[in-house]
Chain A
Amino acid sequence: MTDFSATIAFGLVRRLAAAGTDTPSLYLLISDAGAIRAVEADIAAEVQVQLGLGLRSLVAAEMGLDRLEEALKRNPDRPVTLITLDRWLPKLVTALDRNVVSLTRGGAVLLLANQAVAERLLWAAPNLRNRLSDVLAIRPDEAFGGPMA
């Protein structure tokens, strides 16, 4: 596995707080497939605690191309969007790549995927790859036994 900086939800949300949640940012978060649900829950909890906001959470398989525009719409009350790429969806990834400017307009977007999906995404979506604020290996909180950045 490529050696990306490791983090947990606490550190990730701390970064978002430092930059400000209205600042456009796009993170690719790589997680073990089995830990994805726990990471989602951790991020939602940290966004609530550190930023006092609700997390906008979308699952890629349920987004559908016809609902892409709706999915890309900003919600000022919930400026942090988590998109879980639960499996490889080439058409959706192409659509996200071509519309990456709309995706990142006015808020933070977190793409959460397992290693295999993340690798394919980085290769198949050059526009998106180039606009990533960072790529981070993310683990559930208990894996570290305490908060880290």
Chain B
Amino acid sequence: MQTATDPKPGAVVFDRRQVYRPFLERLNPIGSSQGLLANGLIVAPDHDPRNAGDPPIHVALANTAELTRGSQMALVGGIGSGKTTELLLTQKELNRHGDAVNIFVDMADYTDLSEISPGAILATAGIRLYSRLRSWLKKRGKELPDAIKAAHGELRELAFGKTKWVEAEGLEPYGDEPDDDRQPVPVEVPGVMKLRLPALRSQVAEIMAKLDMIASPLLGDEAQITFLVDGLDRLIRPELFREFTEQDLQALKGTKISVIIVAPLLLWYDKSRFLQDYFDVVKHIPAAAPGPRSSAFLRQILQRRGALDLMDRTEIAAIAKYSGGVLRDLLTLARSSAEYAYRDAEDRIGRGHVNAAIKQLGNRYLVGLGNTHRRLLRRLIGHGEFPIENSTARELLVNRQVLEYFKGGVDYFAVHPALAKMLPKPA
């Protein structure tokens, strides 16, 4: 253990920060998953959460991308369920082949997600693909064709816009003076058939054409291109995500470029079954259901990050239980427990620190709950009923006050255990 030197020469004093800081850094629930993966801190699941006999999600997605080029896959799960981690594990799996061109993008890194428009996925992927193509050609001692350079320039203009200089508009015609420049005005005449998916917007089609041009040398060489798209689940509302699918992903159909995209949880429960109908493969990550196998998985996550150095197995078990199987909550609880122990100037995390952390997390889920929400939660606790088609119930699911589980072939809901502990009894 490191120590800090005391003002007295030769003396050393105990520096408790050095006990907790490395642990807190490894536990950060909002730290970069890429860093964790590189440091070997990620525990990869050993099976599909919905079927213990199936390979884990990242293996299944990678296999599909490798065997069926151009397939489109969706990964759906609640906030903090480990979707980004699965996506990164998939990327790692795909990297096993030398000809794999894997483009991982978190859309939030490239654009303001509250202002994003269809075409943005294609534009981002195209710009990233261009830099990969440059190094791919360089390795082969080949020059970048001018047409592709031009396509990239145009793609950037379409993505980020440009300043155009145009002639000022002419004056309005005066009085009865004829207006020779009058242009026809378009009038839409509806047809008898409704398209299954809306037509591609012209700008999206234009972006797709540039992307196609950039991808052509790689695809011509039979490369396996996969776009792994993260971030759009944060749009929460299914209709916003659907717009991107119907434009950007539809444009990619038939290109032999595979896509794995993270989707918002509400789409999993959408009556239209859009997710299941549109995508070739849909994988759902429920919260880790209570049970020996899941509990062992949760314990392993904490142990991999050094929990046994600072707490006993009973504390680890309590944290796993009250996380509800939500991976980010698991880390949050462990981190808060460590912070409480540090605050109390203790060298180890005790049950009191874990209880305080559970209370904090429960309170966080309790804030803002109105009577309707509380009634729904009590009904779920008391009778196991949860009307998922109800919009208030869906809010509870999105906010993770209610968690979705899958066990023994059955989907079910439960109140987050930390919230259940703090939920006041009815008067």
A4-B360, A17-B17, A133-B335 known; A126+B30 contact, CB < 8 A: no
Query: Does B137 sit at the interface, judged by CB under 8 A?
Result: no
> A104's closest neighbor in chain B, by CB?
B30
Query: Does B235 sit at the interface, judged by CB under 8 A?
Result: yes
8 A Cβ contacts from B386-424 to A: 398-400
Query: Does B297 sit at the interface, judged by CB under 8 A?
Result: no
From B21, B359, B398, A20 is in contact (CB under 8 Å) with B21
Q: Which of A21-29, A40-48, A56-64 contacts B (4 or more CB under 8 A)?
A: A21-29
A24 to B328, CA, bound (A): 14
A120 to B369, CA, bound (A): 10
Does the CB pair B343–A11 fall under 8 Å?
Answer: yes
A33 to B244, CA, bound (A): 41
Query: Does A89 sit at the interface, judged by CB under 8 A?
Result: no
Find chain B residues with CB under 8 A from A133 CB: 29-30, 332, 335-336
A18 to B25, CA, bound (A): 10
Does the CB pair B79–A130 fall under 8 Å?
Answer: yes
* Chain A interface residue count, Cβ-Cβ cutoff 8 angstroms: 43
Query: Does B278 sit at the interface, judged by CB under 8 A?
Result: no
A127 to B29, CA, bound (A): 12
Does the CB pair B360–A134 fall under 8 Å?
Answer: yes
A19, A68, A120 pick with most chain B CB within 10 angstroms: A19
A135 to B364, CA, bound (A): 7
A17-B17, A98-B108, A98-B114 known; A23+B366 contact, CB < 8 A: no
Find chain B residues with CB under 8 A from A94 CB: 114
Find chain B residues with CB under 8 A from A68 CB: 112
> A14's closest neighbor in chain B, by CB?
B343
8 A Cβ contacts from A3-38 to B: 3-5, 11, 14-15, 17-20, 23-26
Does the CB pair B363–A4 fall under 8 Å?
Answer: yes
User: Mask for B235-251, Cβ within 8 A of A = 1, else 0?
Assistant: 11000000000000000
Does the CB pair B113–A129 fall under 8 Å?
Answer: no
* Chain B interface residue count, Cβ-Cβ cutoff 8 angstroms: 42
A134 to B211, CA, bound (A): 43
From A4, A15, A135, B339 is in contact (CB under 8 Å) with A15
A4-B360, A135-B360 known; A99+B114 contact, CB < 8 A: yes
Query: Does B197 sit at the interface, judged by CB under 8 A?
Result: no
Does the CB pair A99–B112 fall under 8 Å?
Answer: yes
> A24's closest neighbor in chain B, by CB?
B30
8 A Cβ contacts from A94-149 to B: 94-95, 97-102, 104, 118-120, 122-123, 126-127, 129-135, 149
A129 to B366, CA, bound (A): 12
Find chain B residues with CB under 8 A from A127 CB: 79, 234, 236
A99-B108, A133-B332 known; A126+B24 contact, CB < 8 A: no
A97 to B240, CA, bound (A): 15
From A98, A120, A122, B235 is in contact (CB under 8 Å) with A98
From B79, B108, B342, A102 is in contact (CB under 8 Å) with B108
The 3 closest A-B pairs by CB, nearest first: A98-B113, A123-B368, A149-B343
Binding site for A on B (CB under 8 A): 17, 20-21, 24-25, 28-32, 79-80, 106, 108-109, 112-115, 231, 234-236, 328, 332, 335-336, 339, 342-344, 356, 359-360, 363-364, 366-368, 398-400
Could you jot down 24 A-B contacts, CB within 8 Å? Answer: A3-B363, A4-B363, A15-B343, A17-B17, A18-B17, A19-B24, A20-B24, A24-B28, A24-B31, A95-B114, A98-B113, A98-B234, A99-B108, A99-B112, A101-B231, A102-B109, A118-B367, A122-B367, A126-B398, A127-B236, A129-B364, A133-B335, A134-B339, A135-B364
Binding site for B on A (CB under 8 A): 2-5, 11, 14-15, 17-20, 23-26, 65, 68-69, 91, 94-95, 97-102, 104, 118-120, 122-123, 126-127, 129-135, 149
